[in-house]
Structure 1
Amino acid sequence: MLNIGFTPDSDMDIPAGAERAWRDGRIGLATLSAADLRYGWFAYRTDFEVGGHAFLSAAREPLVDIMFTLAHTLQSLRANGSAEIDFTESSYVIRLELTGDQVTFTSSHRAPVEPPRCAVEEYAAVVRAFVATGAAWLVESRPAIAESPALHELRALVSDPAGGGTGDLGRRTV
């Protein structure tokens, strides 16, 4: 069983260093680059659990960053048979490796003795659902972001049906 989810927190939508510019109207969500959105904007509690092992549990991660990272793992798994989820602010890494029709998960910290696995199709479906749910939440809560090239790029990254279905296994807690 795979669970990837986030818990929105409007107090963490805007990075502390950008609050004044945001209030003054000098920052527009539609014009922020993907890199800007990936660093500090929309930092929500994120959970990532595979087979009962919590790789992330209520970790505060920028939602756009985790969505891009997960979307890129789909491409990397398809191209290389392996992928990594890493974090700018720490040395923690979650490694993914294709083993037949399964994805095996290991980590640089607190790794379980027996690495958890899930079906490749399940992983692809949950990642796609997570990205779709995250993008929908952002547009719902901050409509100006709907025109962001970053959201268009994210949707394109996960739109390839060759990697599996969209599913509805992503979780959003409000």
Structure 2
Amino acid sequence: MLNIGFTPDSDMDIPAGAERAWRDGRIGLATLSATDLRYGWFAYRIDFQVGGHAFLSAAREPLVDIMFTLAHTLRSLHENGSAEIDFTESSYVIRLELTGGRVTFTSSHRAPAEPPQCAVEEYVAAVRAFVATGVAWLVENRPAIAENPALHELRALVSEAMPPNA
């Protein structure tokens, strides 16, 4: 079983260093760069569980960064047969590897003795659903972000990264 989810927290939408500029109207969500959105904005609790093992459990990470990272894993799995989910602020890495029609998950910390797996189709569907849910939540709660090119790039990346039946 695979679960990828997030818990929104509007108190963590805006990074502390940007609050004043945000209130003063000097920062607009439609024009923030993908890099800015990925590193500090919308830091929510993220859960990532495979086969009963919690790789991330209530970890607070920027939602847009996790969405991009997961979308890139689809492309990397398709092109290379392996991928990594890593984190800027720590040495923690989740490794993914294709084994037949399954994705095997291992990690650099707290790795289970028997690495959990799921079907490739299940992983692809879960990543696409996570990204779609994340984008929809952001657009519904911060409508100005709908025009941000980073969200358009993210949608394209997740839809093209791996064929649905790969």
1:163 is paired with a residue whose SS is coil
Aligned residue runs from structure 1 range 74-89, under 5 A:
74-89=74-89
State the partner residue of 1:120.
120
State the partner residue of 1:141.
141
Distance in 2 between residues matched to 1:36 and 1:150, nearest whole Å: 10
Q: Tell me, which stretches of 5 or more residues in structure 1 are unaligned?
A: 166-174
Q: CA RMSD in A?
A: 1.0
Counterpart of 1:71, as a letter, is A
Distance in 1 between residues matched to 2:156 and 2:8, nearest whole Å: 23
Measured against aligned partners, the alpha-carbon deviations of 1:142-168 in whole angstroms (never above 9, x if no partner) come to 000000000000000111285327xxx
Distance in 2 between residues matched to 1:9 and 1:97, nearest whole Å: 32
Q: Tell me, which stretches of 5 or more residues in structure 2 are unaligned?
A: none
1:44 matched to 2:37? The reply is no
Measured against aligned partners, the alpha-carbon deviations of 1:72-130 in whole angstroms (never above 9, x if no partner) come to 00000000000000000000000000000000000000000000000000000000000
Distance in 1 between residues matched to 2:11 and 2:162, nearest whole Å: 38
Contact 2:38 / 2:65 at 8 angstroms: preserved in 1?
Answer: yes
1:92 matched to 2:97? The reply is no
Report the alpha carbon displacement of residue 137 of structure 1 after superposing the two structures with TM: 0.2
2:105 is paired with a residue whose SS is strand
1:23 matched to 2:23? The reply is yes
State the partner residue of 1:160.
160
Report the alpha carbon displacement of residue 21 of structure 1 after superposing the two structures with TM: 0.3
Contact 1:74 / 1:163 at 8 angstroms: preserved in 2?
Answer: no
TM-score normalised by structure 2 residue count? 0.98
Counterpart of 2:149, as a letter, is P
Identity %: 87
